[in-house]
Homo-oligomer: A and B are copies of this chain.
Amino acid sequence: MPQISNLGSRMPSSPIRKLAPLAVEAKKEGVKVYHLNIGQPDLPTPQKGLDALKAVTRKTLEYSPSEGYPGLREKLVGYYKKYGIDVSADEIIVTCGGSEAILLGFLTCLNPEDEIIMVEPGYANYISFAKTAHITVKTVTSRIEEGFKLPPVEAFEKAITPRTKAILLCNPSNPTGYVYTPEELQKIKEIVVKHDLFLFSDEVYREFVYNGKPYLSAMQLGIPENVIMLDSVSKRYSECGIRIGMLVTHNKQVHDTVMKFCQARLSPPLLGQIVAEASIEGTEEYSKECFDEYKARRDFFIKGLNEIPGVYSPMPEGAFYTVASLPVEDTEAFCRWLLTDFRLNGETVMMAPAAGFYSTPGLGKNQVRMAYVLKEEDLAKALKILRAALATYKDLH
């Protein structure tokens, strides 16, 4: 039997999804599982997006242009303008989710063995995409006791080697909810310029900043040749399943090279583009409602978490995640046990063990990432289950 590749062997399982089979088993037994593990909002997709599907009159669901439909890209230009981001439609490439934008960005900008600096804890799948492109991830560590703020600029300088080619920021951060300040971004800009790096900026949670301060996009830093913005409609319109993301850059060489990869995979999803385009305009009311809802959920959930003995979560300023520490030694074992053994009134909770969001071995073992994307009533139940489970687990171990 032929052997699989080394890359395949080394590829990590997603910490967000690897426990999914256990959840499936639990559900088969009739157990209700509250999914705090994944940023799958329960809010509805904008009605305009859903209506656009019903209004499809084309008879052939044909390929779209490799870069995405001009209509969608034009709408995005207007959307970005509202956030002070000035781009043209031909600087936007529509991808199959933000995921594809990340991978194609990496493949385009970094050679195998080149290094990219990321903040840990970070979105786990960045690591997978980096491995896929055979690039090396160096991490600078943000700490729960400091509210996961950006590590000092010296930490970045220390991580830089002659092979460093890029820095990646997720702002607001998945998984910590931290929002970088304009001052922090200025410091990052200085490093980027000094070392002639690419700056990947994942801004899919742009709309969810709860601290009342103005949000600065990397696209506004005045380093147009360095910045590659990664984006997606998934979260802001609660339409994760349509797989529509974007890669946006003023750097023409990067744009044109990403396009060669895009031509090879032919086109982004047609139907998703139709929904996304309809979701962008005239949905200000919808966006306001989502924002208020997430903010309320955040306030409710983080307060509830911190009331559980031994649990600590900083107050996230953006996105809809938090990384919290639990009074257990190994959250992976605990998360598994929740799915396989623990039920409270026939219900349990699924969370993502946070170790998978760190690169440094041993870090985050007592932390979990949780998404507060469920309605308050469900979050309340999840909190109750978590509290009871921790008490039971403590007695058992």
Chain B contacts for A261, CB-based, 8 A = 8, 11, 128, 132
Q: How far is the CB of A237 from chain B (nearest CB, A)?
A: 9
What DSSP secondary structure best describes chain A's contact surface?
loop
A114, B8: Cα distance in complex, Å: 14
A373, B194: Cα distance in complex, Å: 53
CB of A396 within 8 A of chain B? no
Do A109 and B8 touch (CB < 8 A)?
Answer: yes
CB of A186 within 8 A of chain B? no
Do A2 and B107 touch (CB < 8 A)?
Answer: no
Count chain B CB atoms within 10 A of each CB in A8, A64, A96 and give the residue with the most.
A8
Chain B residue nearest to A242 (CB atoms) is B61
Query: A1 and B242 in contact (CB under 8 A), knowing A108-B8, A134-B112, A265-B99?
Result: no
Do B267 and A197 touch (CB < 8 A)?
Answer: no
Do B62 and A241 touch (CB < 8 A)?
Answer: yes
Chain B residue nearest to A59 (CB atoms) is B44
Of B103, B109, B260, the residue contacting A14 (CB under 8 A) is B260
A251, B50: Cα distance in complex, Å: 39
Query: A240 and B62 in contact (CB under 8 A), knowing A17-B263, A271-B271, A271-B275?
Result: yes
Chain B contacts for A59, CB-based, 8 A = 44-45, 50
Do A264 and B99 touch (CB < 8 A)?
Answer: yes
Q: How far is the CB of A257 from chain B (nearest CB, A)?
A: 4
CB of A225 within 8 A of chain B? yes
Chain B contacts for A38, CB-based, 8 A = 63
A329, B50: Cα distance in complex, Å: 52
